[in-house]
Amino acid sequence: MTRADLVVIENERHTTALLTGELDRASCPAVRSRLRAVAHRPLVLDFSGVTFIDADGLRTVHQCARAGTALALVGVSPFVAKLFRILGLDGHIPLCSSTEEALWCILPRTDEEIRDWLDG
């Protein structure tokens, strides 16, 4: 039996979900249910603890994005990143190198953030 854990951290403007273990056919129903519960807010999904992913796992993440969740992934292994690229999922779900980059991808900008960016 495989096991995946999902630790959810609610932040002021977004949710971070730390996924660990094997994301496969056995674990996906529980993970999918937890993701649906937090999908109403921008979501950073941290894959740094994922040890295995199969087609069901990829489908679970893709379904979350297709449902309209502002979603970005961090901590994605090179192998998983390659799977996302091959399947074209990286065009729908940003694969980011840091939480800060992920937040830039999914959060609406405040006037202050835009001014800071323009001022450089």
**What pLDDT is recorded for position 80?**
94
Which segments in the chain show pLDDT lower than 70? 1-2, 120
| pTM summary value | 0.86
Q: Which domains does the chain have, with CATH numbers?
A: 4-119 (3.30.750.24)
Amino acid at residue number 43 = L
- Percent of the chain past pLDDT 90, that is, above it, reads 81
**What pLDDT is recorded for position 120?**
66
**What pLDDT is recorded for position 1?**
45
Cα angle 65, 85, 55 (rounded to 5 degrees) comes to 65
Residue 109: other Cβ atoms inside 10 A? 11
